[in-house]
Amino acid sequence: MSSEAPIHVIGAGAAGLMAAERLAQAGRCVVVHERMPSVARKFLMAGRGGLNLTHSEPPDRFQRRYAEAQGVVTPWLARFTPADLITWAEGLGQETFVGSSGRVFPKALKASPLLRAWLARLNGLGVEVRTRSRWTGWRDQALAFDTPDGERIEPASAVVLALGGASWPRLGSDGGWMNLLQAEGVAVAPFRPANAGVDIAWSPPLIDRFAGSPLKGVALSIGDQRVRGEALLSAYGLEGGAVYALFAPIRDAVERDGRAVLHLDLRPDASVQDLARRLSRPRGKDSLSNWLRKALGLVPVAVALLREAGDIPTEPEALAARLKTLPLTVTGVQGLERAISSAGGVRLDQVDARLMLTARPGVFIAGEMLDWEAPTGGYLLQASFASGVVAAEGVLAWLDARG
Ligand SMILES: Cc1cc2nc3c(=O)[nH]c(=O)nc-3n(C[C@H](O)[C@H](O)[C@H](O)COP(=O)(O)OP(=O)(O)OC[C@H]3O[C@@H](n4cnc5c(N)ncnc54)[C@H](O)[C@@H]3O)c2cc1C
């Protein structure tokens, strides 16, 4: 590392740009590299869904979303809290609001105004952003980049790698960095999809009539884990928030057993007894669908799912039980191409608390390229931003200690 050289931040996503901002605010000379022709494409894509920046739930619940990585991620969240993220977004002119699910969004419900203001701030801080600059590894202590003008070799005083995970590779994060780090002796966990849809072998008539239909106000469970939320029936199976919240245990069961059994509760607010009582009313001349609609307000897709699970019980108790625990057999999960995020990446034991690689002092890692995962709900961006802050502070402390 050359103490006179700039700090290079590689990867212009949420984590990298946040690290660049913090470093530049500390008066450092910062160059950001992005392999794509424009920056933050995944952040902009997140904006298409309204840009769920973070979540308003209490810290202990928030931290549990990171499952096994909770112990490592919690200090990042303490350093850059959801409240800090909201203040930051508002400082860039983006007022936020808390949605009914507790998720936090910018009022604009998109990423482009926030990104525009952010890039202007970075520009004002003197950060140089180079697009079409793909990092290809080290040449001795210097960094090598593939650019339209050929290979560029850049000395660095420190490096932040924020190259992202491997989902939606066409947006830029393709996980191509894995070999480069493995060659340096850095242990990585293979990429796996996270927050993706799951495969269920629906019958052709169900697909024909109901692909694209939402299932609102349902609950899904696997084993003893249960979530309330929404799902969307698709031709290949199911997707949506409730599925993503259970994605890790579903994926793990499919990898282990070749299948997973989910239970769908079509009426989570009512007990079996409640439903059975309402189903005891005589059906008269009504068709089954009409009767279920009148008695329980079941929408047609819900009735079709009941039918899909086999003969519909005639006994009120048995029918009520079926409505509360409709079995769905998952035969596979969707791949990385359309997963919202990925599990895997640089193993968390390869970095210290400042996010510096033990195998490569002066190189810090931030964002989704580290091996943590979380459901949708704002947890992905929150941890990506927060780790960018921690890595930047790590760089500053490391450079200060070197004098
Ligand atoms: C459809 C979709 C919707 C989402 N919605 C939300 C949401 O609402 N809320 C939420 O919290 N999260 C959401 N996410 C997830 C969130 O966008 C990511 O977790 C977050 O962007 C990760 O940030 P990052 O900086 O770690 O990586 P990225 O944003 O992936 O940035 C990494 C950057 O590094 C660049 N790069 C990679 N390799 C190289 C190289 N060799 N040289 C130079 N540059 C390189 C990439 O091109 C990329 O721009 C969504 C994701 C998707 C796909």
Q: Which two tokens stand for residue 55?
A: 């979540």
Atom 41 in ligand 1: residue holding the nearest Cα: 135
What length does the chain have? 403
For 343-373, the pLDDT digits (tens) are 999 999 999 999 999 999 999 999 999 999 9
Tell me, yes or no, whether 117 and 167 share the same domain.
yes
Mean pLDDT of 257-271: 97
Mean pLDDT of 141-155: 97
Under a CB-based contact definition with an 8 Å cutoff, are residues 128 and 60 in contact? Answer: no
| pLDDT of 52 over the 80 cut | yes
Mean pLDDT of 126-140: 97
Q: How many CA atoms lie within 13 A of 206 on its CB side?
A: 19
What predicted TM-score, i.e. pTM, was given to this entire model? 0.94
pLDDT at 289: 85
Task: Please list the residues that pair with 139 across neighbouring strands.
Answer: 142
Under a CB-based contact definition with an 8 Å cutoff, are residues 198 and 240 in contact? Answer: no
pLDDT at 57: 97
Per the domain annotation, does 2 fall within a domain?
no
Q: How many CA atoms lie within 13 A of 337 on its CB side?
A: 2
Buried b (16+ CB within 10 A) or exposed e, 254-278: beeeeebebebbbbbebebeebbeb
Mean pLDDT of 392-397: 98
pLDDT at 303: 93
Confidence tier at 311 by pLDDT (50, 70, 90): confident
Tell me, yes or no, whether 323 and 373 share the same domain.
no
Collapsing DSSP to helix, strand or coil, 328 comes out as: strand
Per the domain annotation, does 295 fall within a domain?
yes
| pLDDT of 315 over the 80 cut | yes
pLDDT at 286: 86
Q: What is the DSSP-derived secondary structure letter of residue 126?
A: T
pLDDT at 223: 94
Buried b (16+ CB within 10 A) or exposed e, 17-39: bbbbbbbbebebebbbbbbbeeb
Backbone phi and psi for residue 160, each to the nearest 5 degrees, phi listed first: -110, 120
Where is the domain boundary, 277, 309, 333?
A: 333
Task: Please list the residues that pair with 52 across neighbouring strands.
Answer: none
Residue 379 CA, closest ligand 1 atom number: 11
Pocket of ligand 1 (CB under 6 A): 10-16, 33-36, 41-43, 45-46, 49, 51-52, 134-135, 162-164, 167-168, 172-173, 176-177, 340-341, 367-368, 378, 380-381, 384
Tell me, yes or no, whether 284 and 179 share the same domain.
no
Confidence tier at 287 by pLDDT (50, 70, 90): confident
Tell me, yes or no, whether 66 and 130 share the same domain.
yes
CATH of the domain at 212: 2.40.30.10
Backbone phi and psi for residue 304, each to the nearest 5 degrees, phi listed first: -65, -35
Mean pLDDT of 67-84: 97
Per the domain annotation, does 93 fall within a domain?
yes
Where is the domain boundary, 289, 314, 333?
A: 333
Residues contacting residue 148 through CB under 8 Å, at least 6 positions apart: 132
For 172-225, the pLDDT digits (tens) are 999 999 999 999 999 999 999 999 999 999 999 999 999 999 999 999 999 999
Tell me, yes or no, whether 49 and 183 share the same domain.
yes
Tell me whether residue 113 is exposed, middle or buried, using C-beta atoms within 10 angstroms of its C-beta: 0 to 12, 13 to 18, 19 or more: middle
Ligand 1: which of 163, 195, 239 to mutate, most ligand atoms within 8 Å of CB?
Answer: 163
pLDDT at 336: 96
Q: What is the DSSP-derived secondary structure letter of residue 392?
A: H
Tell me, yes or no, whether 168 and 298 share the same domain.
no
Per the domain annotation, does 288 fall within a domain?
yes
Per the domain annotation, does 36 fall within a domain?
yes
Per the domain annotation, does 255 fall within a domain?
yes
**30 C-alpha to ligand 1 centroid (Å):** 20
CATH of the domain at 20: 3.50.50.60
Task: Please list the residues that pair with 232 across neighbouring strands.
Answer: 214, 239
Q: Which two tokens stand for residue 195?
A: 């927050």
Tell me, yes or no, whether 96 and 242 share the same domain.
no
Where is the domain boundary, 289, 315, 333?
A: 333
Mean pLDDT of 234-254: 96
Tokens 């700039």 belong to 6
Tell me, yes or no, whether 134 and 161 share the same domain.
yes
Confidence tier at 96 by pLDDT (50, 70, 90): very high
Mean pLDDT of 261-266: 97
Tell me, yes or no, whether 381 and 241 share the same domain.
no
pLDDT at 363: 98
Task: Please list the residues that pair with 370 across neighbouring strands.
Answer: 346
Neighbour order of strands in the sheet with 214-222: 326-330, 260-265, 214-222, 225-233, 237-239, 198-199, 332-333
For 19-32, the pLDDT digits (tens) are 999 999 999 999 99
Under a CB-based contact definition with an 8 Å cutoff, are residues 372 and 342 in contact? Answer: no
Percent of the chain with pLDDT over 90: 91
pLDDT at 93: 98
Per the domain annotation, does 172 fall within a domain?
yes
Could you give the number of structural domains in the chain? Answer: 2
pLDDT at 312: 87
Tell me, yes or no, whether 62 and 37 share the same domain.
yes
Tell me, yes or no, whether 307 and 222 share the same domain.
yes
Tell me, yes or no, whether 189 and 202 share the same domain.
no
Under a CB-based contact definition with an 8 Å cutoff, are residues 188 and 346 in contact? Answer: yes
Identity of the amino acid at 161: L
Ligand 1: which of 33, 42, 346, 364 to mutate, most ligand atoms within 8 Å of CB?
Answer: 42
CA distances 217 to 159, 232, 338, Å, are 46, 11, 25
Q: Name the residue range of residue 237's domain.
A: 198-333
Q: Which two tokens stand for residue 222?
A: 């696997």
More confident residue, 281 or 374: 374
